[in-house]
Amino acid sequence: MLPVSHFYGGVAAFNRGRFVQAARIWRQVVHPGWEFLAGYATLAELFAAGTIPSLRLGYATPCMNDLEAAIADPQRTSPDKIVAKLAKDPANLMMLLHVVFTRDPRDLPGVEKGRVTVLTALIAGGGEWGQRLARSLFDSASVPIEWKIAALEGMHRAGCVAPGEPVSMLVDGMPQDVELKRVEMILDLEPAMEQRHRAALALRDEGKLHEARRILEEFTQGDRLYAPGIVTYANVLRAQGELAGARRWLELLHDVSPNHPIVLCNLAGLCAQEGDIEGARQHLTAVDIDDLPEDVAEKVAEFTLSIDPLFLTDYAVERLQEDLRRQVDERPLMPHTLALRRALDQIPVEWLNAACGVHRVSPQARLRRDRAHQLAESLLAQPDAALQALARVDPDGRAQRLLRFLVEQGGYAKAGQVTRKFGSEEGDGYYWSEQPPVSPLGRLRMTCLAFVGRVPVDGRRVKVVAVPADLRAALVPVLAREPLIPKPV
């Protein structure tokens, strides 16, 4: 039998109220292009249970072109209007219902939030049928409270429920009147509330979560909600394992202030706690570190790293690596007496390993210090090979010209002078075994033919770039005999 015949047969049964029979007919179809019937079958069972109020289907299949046209310009069209337009076609309405009601335990929290948004819009833009759907959800013992609140919000948007008007619904299996009310969200510090907030923070830091929670609940009640206290309240809920409650409050704050870095970072932490790696990554990426004060930006980066290095935004990764490299640059260095072995002893093991790879040296020693000495012996004994290794990572010759410049300057130069002539190391990173540096100075440092540090001059610590004295002595005759530095094109 053709799949269209099953489709028509299921529609006929559905319109007669024989929902179970319709589901059975639709589940028989496994042909490509008719996958939507599996969703129809699942919904038919919900119609049979009374969760969704009945409607009459046509014999047309859902049209994706209608959906694409409806959301073509979401900036000018509200979700309610989009859904109202789609819901005029019963086939498209079925697909919207499938989005809302087909739940998977493996779904991430962001997916659930999307369902709630569609549900609110479906009721707000669904006319009389939408109102019947809302009342059906209110009376259901299996529908989560978040959906009932979303349905109530949809009725409010449709003009069917006013703020402060009680609506009866089942909450935890018991009938209860619920009403929408307008509240003020206080985003800035408010002295009296902040004093109570700090008292709660002190209790939390002492591990007295229950006592802290009693104070913090004050900020979630009444007509004035205190955002800083709500963030702490959500964190206490997280510590007590009440992740769903924490998400409700953090998403409320996110709706009010979608770009606030503290809210975004806390949502990222919550996502990480829930195992939603991608959700955490998205929230962290949305944090605009460039617009934050430096100390706050550092805290955000540290917090990001504390969650998991995999969550770091590209900017935070770059900033972290730049800071690690600058810490190396702060070490003392005496250019006139600097020996290669001593210089190699002071660089990070990550750089030592990268240099061994560039120079094709395979140290046999297990200890880091012994490997450094083995590399030093190789470079001092074979300066020609050392320059060839530099040429392999320096296709444009700029690092080689920098080396010649340093040798001609007596072995060292101020870092500012090097930067003006050859460019900065910005973006060179730190983990050179994985991502080699690209600047001329970075390439030269990776081959361990030059080092950066601070030298005392007139009471100041001046940053310099230096070629170790013993290595310089080995390189001078090679450079004099055969200039390996390519001329600029």
Q: Render pLDDT for 441-465 as a digit per residue (tens, 0 to 9).
A: 999 999 999 999 999 888 788 999 9
Q: What is the mean pLDDT of the chain?
A: 83
Taking the model in full, what pTM does it have?
A: 0.46
Q: What is the pLDDT of residues 250-309, one digit of tens each?
A: 988 888 887 788 888 888 888 877 777 777 777 877 776 655 666 666 666 665 655 555
In DSSP terms, which residues pair with 185 in a beta bridge? 225
- Taking only the tens place, the pLDDT of each residue in 184-217 is 888 888 888 999 999 999 998 888 899 999 999 9
Given a contact cutoff of 8 angstroms between Cβ atoms, the answer to whether 454 and 346 are in contact is no
pLDDT of residue 482: 60
**What is the predicted pLDDT for the residue at 31?**
85
* Confidence (pLDDT) at 145: 82
CB atoms within 10 A of CB 16: 10
Segment 304-319 mean pLDDT: 54
- Burial of residue 319 (CB within 10 Å: 0-12, 13-18, 19+) is middle
* Cα–Cα distance, 310 to 305 (Å, whole number): 8
Task: Determine which helix (DSSP H) or strand (DSSP E) holds 456, and give its type and residue range.
Answer: strand 451-457
Interatomic CA distance for residues 459 and 452, integer angstroms: 19
User: Phi and psi dihedrals of 445, rounded to 5?
Assistant: -70, -35
pLDDT confidence band for 346 (50 / 70 / 90)? confident
Mean pLDDT of 18-29: 93
Under a CB-based contact definition with an 8 Å cutoff, are residues 439 and 423 in contact? yes
Give which of 298, 340, 338, 336 is closest to 320, Cα–Cα.
298
pLDDT at 283 (0 to 100) = 81
Mean pLDDT, residues 406-410 taken together: 92
- Which superfamily is assigned to 184-325 in CATH? Tetratricopeptide repeat domain (1.25.40.10)
Name the band, by pLDDT with cuts 50, 70 and 90, for residue 73. very low
The residue whose two tokens read 């005029």 is 88
Residue 275 is predicted with a pLDDT of 73
Q: Where in the chain is the domain with CATH 1.25.40.10?
A: 184-325
CA distances from 16 to 9, 22, 460 (A): 11, 10, 91
